[in-house]
Structure 1
Amino acid sequence: MFKMMTKGDKILIFAILALSVASIFAIPRLLTTVEEGKMVVVNLDGTVIHRFPLEESPEAEFLEFPFEVRGQSYTGKIEMKDGRVMLHRLSDDISPLSIHTDMGWISESYQMIVSLPIRLIITIEEEDPPEYDFDIISY
C-alpha cells in the first residue's frame, strides 16, 4: 500500500535541508575568533623562519621574506588584505608547479598554504588561542 507525503512531511524535510545548508556556513564562523591578535607564520622544513601580524585593511600590503633552499637564497612574497593572506608564485627552480598560488587566500587558523617541494608552509596562529576542556570525544 503506497502512502503519499503530507504537507507537514514536506515542510519537515525542507526545514531539515535548510538547517543543514545553513550550518555549513555558520559553524566555521562560530568556531573562529576576531582577527585581532593573529599572526602569519612562515615555516620552512619544520622551522619557523618569519612571523608577521595579520593586518585587517582594505589596502593590499605586500611583504617579502628571504629564505634559503639547498644553499641558494630566494625571496618569497605574501599579500595581506582584509584579514586574509596569499602566497605569490615562488621561483620555478624550487617549486615547478603553482599549486601554492592556486590555494588562494587563507584567513583562519585551520587553513594553510603549502609548497611541498621545499616544505614551505604558511599558517595563521592566534596569539591567545582558546583553551578547551577536551581535545576530542569518541564513543
Structure 2
Amino acid sequence: MKKGDIVIILTVVIISIFSMLSIIYSNSYTNEKDIVIKVGGEEIKKISVDDKTNSIYDFNFGDEVGYIEIKAGKIRMLEMDKSICPNKICSLTGWIDKKYETIICIPNKIAISIENIATEHQELDEVSY
C-alpha cells in the first residue's frame, strides 16, 4: 500500500464516522415528543411529553375510555377489559419510545404513535421525484 492509499482510506473513514455522529446527534436533538392518539384515522389527542413526564392519560373512543401511561419518555397502553379488546395485543405491545414505533388496537381502530418535535418542524433540504 502506498502513502496516498492510506491517506484516502483514513479520509473516507473519518468522513464516515463524522456522518454517523451527525445523524445520531440530529435524531437526539431534543427529548421532547408529541404523543398522537388516533381513533379511526382521526386525531383525537396530542400530548407533549419529555423524559421527566410521569403520568396516566385517558382518551375516549366510541362509548369507552382507554388509558396510556407515560413514564420517563416511554409510552404504553394500559390493559382494557376483555369485552372491549379481546386479544389485548395493544397492551401486550409494551413500552415504545421511538418515532417509528406504534401501538395499534385493531378492534377499536386505535393508533398511538410518537412524533419528535425537533424533526417535525425542520425544513426540507431536498425533494426528489
TM-score > 0.5 by shorter chain? yes
| Cα RMSD after superposing both structures | 2.7
Aligned sequence identity (%):
25
Query: For 1:36-75, what aligned pairs fall within 5 Å after superposition?
Result: 36=32, 38-57=33-52, 60-68=54-62, 73-75=63-65
Distance 1:135 1:104 in 2: 36
What amino acid is the match of 1:63? Y
The answer to whether the Cα contact below 8 Å between 1:35 and 1:56 also exists between their aligned partners in 2 is: yes
- Where structure 1 has 5 or more consecutive residues not aligned to the other structure, the ranges are 1-22
Does residue 98 (structure 1) correspond to residue 88 (structure 2)? The answer is yes
Query: After TM superposition, where is structure 1 displaced by more than 3 Å over at least 4 residues in a row?
Result: 28-31, 130-136
Structure 2: any 5+ residue segments left out of the alignment?
A: 1-19
Q: Would the alpha carbon gap of residues 93 and 131 (structure 1) be closer, same or farther in structure 2, given more than 3 Å must change?
A: farther
Per the alignment, residue 71 of structure 2 pairs with: 81
Q: Deviations over 1:84-117 (max 9, x none)?
A: 1111012322310111111111112111000011
Tell me how many residue pairs correspond in the alignment.
107
- What letter corresponds to residue 133 of structure 1 in structure 2? D
Could you state the TM-score of these two structures normalised by the residue count of structure 1?
0.64
TM-score for the superposition, normalised by structure 2: 0.68
